[in-house]
Structures are given as structure tokens and as C-alpha cells.
Structure 1
Amino acid sequence: MPRLQLALNVSNIDTAVDFYSKLFGTEPAKRRPGYANFAIAEPPLKLVLFENPSATGKLNHLGIEVESSAQVEQASDRLQQANLTVRSENNTTCCYALQDKIWVTDPDGDEWEVYTVLKDSATFACK
């Protein structure tokens, strides 16, 4: 089932993980130095935290996690037909996972990704 992703910049990863674990009543699905993600069932949400104390804003990016590369491709086709500029990244490593994904930018400059996780990765390697 697709779910929304909210990726936030946080000043202290340990403090943020403690807070969000309490808020959503669950532990992170993945925890690495300076990084955590939560796969929250209710509400269906992928919450991603990046330790980035020098960030000028709280929002890192937004996304929609889907179940397959075919769904990423379907989203790409639909968005291109709607005259949006789509940037594709296939077999890319990001957030300790190998992913297929696309990116679009909203009118205010916020980035949205539609992605699927192909498998875990030992490296972070995001842009």
C-alpha cells in the first residue's frame, strides 16, 4: 500500500528519535548514524529524519513510497502527461537503500519523490 513520506532535518538525531518513537508508539525501522526512518502503520507514513543542525529549514523533502518499480514508472508517465518535469533515478543508493525513484518539484520549490525500495544498502549515498 502506498504511503506518504515526510523527510525532516533535525538538530539532534537521538532526541528526535526519542520524541517520534513516543509520538507514533513505534521504534525506527532503520537507524544509522545521523539517520532514522520509521515505517508507521497508523497513519500510514514513512517518517525520515536527517541529522542536519545547519539546515535552514525543517523540511528536507516529501515523498510517496510505492510497492514496485512498475508503480514508479506509472507515476512518471502520469506526471509527464500532466506536463510536469520528471527526473528519474533508477538503481540509485539513497538513505541506506537501493531505490528506483522519480522527482518532481512543486510550485514553491519543494521536492517530491515517488520511490520504491529494492533492497537495503550499507551506504547512505544521497545527494
Structure 2
Amino acid sequence: MKRFHVHLHVDDLAKSIAFYSNLFASPPARVEADYAKWMLDDPRVNFAISTVGHGKGIDHLGIQADDDAELAELKARGQAADRTLLDEGETVCCYARSEKHWVTDPQGIAWEHFQTLDGAVPVYGQSKFTAKAESACCAPRAARGIPVNVSVRGTGACC
């Protein structure tokens, strides 16, 4: 069964961990000096925050596949969406080794489809495109989405 994925950039990791731990009524499944991740079952989401990257807000969205067949299905869907698909293959990102590809929606928001192969990698990221540790792990520069920094206070609007 697939899992929805959200990755946010935050300014203060400790404050954000405290906030989301209360919001989700659960501590993170993994914490590093620059990263935290919750693997929630209700709702089924892989929610990650990090101080790596630029700005704050949504870095990218995604869907985590449990197996090769689900990942292949997601890739076919991305290709059918008539958008450029960036196939990274096997890569290290967010302290995990994954097989992944990216597609960017018409607004420029990056969507990551991935299958985690090893969730216990000791480095934040390493790109096969740069052959070295890369500080802007996750959404590659060509597919990176635009930050969504919309105030939820005083807008008078819903959704």
C-alpha cells in the first residue's frame, strides 16, 4: 500500500519537532541533526522536515511505494501525465537509499515517487549526478517545486 509523502523545509528543527510531535501525537521515527521523519499510519503519510535547502515551506510532495510493481505503476502514471519525468534510479537522500523518479506539475511543484531500499543510511544525501554529498538533496534542481508559503491566519478563505 502506497504512502503519501510531504517534505518541508523548516528554520528551527527542535521547535518543529516539538510542534509536529504534538500535532501527530507521536514522536518522529527518525531524528538527525538536520532532519526528522514521521511514518504515520493514520493518516498513512511519510512526513519529513529538514533544515537542509533554501527557504521554508513545502519542498516537494510524493508517494512512497512498498514494492517494485507499485513504483512501476507510479512511473507509468507520471509518464501518462504528459510531463517530463526525471528518473534518478537508485540514490541516497534523506538518510535512506531509494529507487526514485520525479515529475513536476504544471505549477512547478515537484512530485517524488520512490521505494525505500535501505532506511538506515548515515548521510543525508548523495547524488549520482554530482558523485558527492549534496546539500540540496531531495527535489533535484531541475524538478524542484516552488515553495508554498501561504499564511493560514486572517485570510478568511478556506482550502
TM-score, length-scaled by structure 2: 0.74
Q: Which stretches of structure 1, 4 residues or longer, exceed 6 Å deviation after superposition?
A: none
Contiguous gaps of at least 5 residues in structure 2? 126-136, 139-159
* Paired position in structure 2 for 1:27: 27
Q: Which has the higher strand share?
A: 1
C-alpha change, 1:71 and 1:16, in structure 2 (3 Å) is same
CA distance in 1, matches of 2:30, 2:88: 22
2:89 is aligned with 1:79: no
8 Å contact from structure 1 (residues 11, 52) kept in 2: no
SS in 1 for 2:91: strand
2:100 is aligned with 1:101: yes
* Number of positions where the alignment pairs a residue of Structure 1 with one of Structure 2: 126
SS in 2 for 1:63: strand
* Paired position in structure 2 for 1:47: 47
SS in 1 for 2:18: helix
C-alpha change, 1:105 and 1:82, in structure 2 (3 Å) is closer
SS in 2 for 1:114: strand
8 Å contact from structure 2 (residues 86, 102) kept in 1: yes
| Cα deviation code 1:58-97 (max 9, x no counterpart) | 1111011110233212211232134222111122000000
Q: What fraction of aligned residue pairs are identical, expressed as a percent?
A: 32
C-alpha deviation, 1:16, in angstroms? 0.3
TM-score, length-scaled by structure 1: 0.91
8 Å contact from structure 2 (residues 30, 38) kept in 1: yes
Contiguous gaps of at least 5 residues in structure 1? none
SS in 2 for 1:93: strand
CA distance in 2, matches of 1:93, 1:34: 16
SS in 2 for 1:73: helix
Larger mean Cα displacement after TM superposition, 78-87 or 64-73 = 78-87
* Paired position in structure 2 for 1:9: 9
- In our comparison, the structure showing a higher alpha carbon Rg is 2
Which of structures 1 and 2 has the larger relative contact order (alpha carbons within 8 angstroms, sep 6+)?
Answer: 1
